[in-house]
């Protein structure tokens, strides 16, 4: 058999390995307290979930709230959920900020950052889009006004795919 | 003797650690800023410039969040 040229061999390897790129890792499961009881991530299966790790001392985290509130309002009739996981060690600081906003999605509390560690967050805020099958789709670190539209489009597309 | 000192120095490296994003609450306090007072800093910069005929070269970009 004639040996393949290096470029052809490389293409063949890429084609064989392609399905590996299409797989998304399963999102770590969690159970955290909220103001309305315990929130279990398994309850969210079948929905597109936007998870946001935030803290009251982090300015971009606070700046992301009006956008998240608007997104929840925009997609309220679709299987879309936002969960904001607070990482403040002092819950009173978080409560003060929460009281200043008209938040329309659940806030979970993770003062020991056990879930944040599972998600391996690299900065604040860190957000994740978890698809309807419970797989991690996209990770965002930080919050910028310029990327709001792109994020909204991604949410919209993932909701349509289902 | 040098070997002992070198080994002891290596032990000190264990103090080098990465601060996790959720542990940066203390670093995010205004009093922890590299430039806690903008006015003081502007005055100091002016004095420094007048004396040395050069300016800048202090401080770093980014905040406490680790997101910039």
Q: What is the pLDDT of residue A93?
A: 94
Categorize the per-residue pLDDT at B67 as very low, low, confident or very high, splitting at 50, 70 and 90: low
**B55 vs B65 pLDDT, higher one:** B55
Q: What is the pLDDT of residue A74?
A: 96
**B59 vs A97 pLDDT, higher one:** A97
CB pair distance less than 8 Å for A142 and B68: yes
Q: What is the pLDDT of residue B61?
A: 59
Domain boundaries, chain A: 25-161
Q: Who's near A97: CB < 8 A, 6+ residues apart?
A: A56, A62
CB pair distance less than 8 Å for A125 and B67: yes
Q: What angle is formed at CA A162 by the lines to CA A68 and CA A52, rounded to 5 degrees?
A: 25
CB pair distance less than 8 Å for B21 and A142: no
Q: What is the pLDDT of residue B30?
A: 81
Alpha helices (H) along chain A: 6-22, 59-63, 65-74, 91-99, 114-118, 148-161
**pTM of the entire predicted model:** 0.74
Categorize the per-residue pLDDT at B56 as very low, low, confident or very high, splitting at 50, 70 and 90: confident
Beta bridge mates, A83: A51
| Nearest CA distance, A33 vs chain B (angstrom) | 18
Interface residue ranges in chain A relative to chain B, Cβ cutoff 8 Å: 53, 55, 57-61, 87-89, 113, 116-117, 121-126, 141-143
Q: Which chain B residues have a beta carbon less than 8 Å from that of A57? A: 24-25, 28-29, 64
CB pair distance less than 8 Å for B65 and A123: yes
Out of A58, A89, A113, name the one closest to residue B28 (CB).
A58
- Annotation: CATH topology of A25-161: Glutaredoxin (3.40.30)
Nearest chain B alpha carbon to A90: B25
- Alpha-carbon distances of A142 from A29, A32, A94, B7, B26, rounded to whole Å: 23, 23, 19, 40, 19
CB pair distance less than 8 Å for A141 and B20: no
Categorize the per-residue pLDDT at B5 as very low, low, confident or very high, splitting at 50, 70 and 90: confident
Q: What is the pLDDT of residue B54?
A: 83
Q: What is the pLDDT of residue B38?
A: 85
Out of A60, A116, A117, name the one closest to residue B65 (CB).
A60
- Asked if A105 and A72 touch (Cβ cutoff 8 Å), the reply is yes
Out of A58, A88, A117, name the one closest to residue B65 (CB).
A58
Q: pLDDT tens per residue, chain A (162 residues)? A: 566 677 776 666 655 555 445 589 999 999 999 999 999 999 998 999 999 999 999 999 999 999 999 999 999 999 999 999 999 999 999 999 999 999 999 999 999 999 999 999 999 999 999 999 999 999 999 999 999 999 999 999 999 976
Q: What is the pLDDT of residue A11?
A: 64
pLDDT in tens, B9-35: 777 776 677 889 999 988 888 888 878
Q: Who's near A93: CB < 8 A, 6+ residues apart?
A: A56, A57
């Amino acid at each position: 058999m004639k040996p393949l040229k290096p470029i052809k061999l490389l293409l063949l390897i890429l084609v064989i390995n392609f399905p590996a790129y299409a797989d998304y890792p399963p999102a770590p499961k969690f159970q955290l307290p909220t103001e309305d009881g315990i929130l279990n991530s398994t309850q969210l299966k079948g929905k597109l979930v936007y998870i946001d790790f935030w803290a009251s001392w982090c300015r971009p985290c606070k700046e992301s709230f009006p956008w998240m509130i608007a997104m929840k309002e925009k997609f309220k009739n679709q299987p879309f959920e936002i969960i904001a996981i607070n990482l403040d060690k002092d819950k009173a600081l978080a409560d003060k900020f929460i009281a200043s906003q008209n938040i329309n999605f659940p806030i979970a509390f993770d003062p020991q950052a056990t879930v944040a560690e599972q998600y391996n967050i690299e900065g604040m805020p860190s957000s994740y889009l978890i698809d309807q099958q419970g797989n991690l789709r996209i990770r965002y670190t930080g919050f910028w006004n310029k990327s709001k539209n792109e994020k909204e489009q991604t949410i919209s597309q993932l909701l349509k795919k289902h | 003797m040098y070997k002992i000192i070198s080994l002891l120095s290596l032990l000190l490296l264990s103090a080098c650690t990465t601060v996790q994003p959720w542990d940066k609450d203390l670093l995010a306090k205004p009093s922890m800023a590299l430039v806690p007072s903008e006015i003081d800093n502007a005055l100091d910069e002016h004095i420094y410039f007048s004396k040395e005929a050069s300016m800048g070269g202090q401080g770093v970009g980014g905040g406490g969040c680790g997101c910039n």
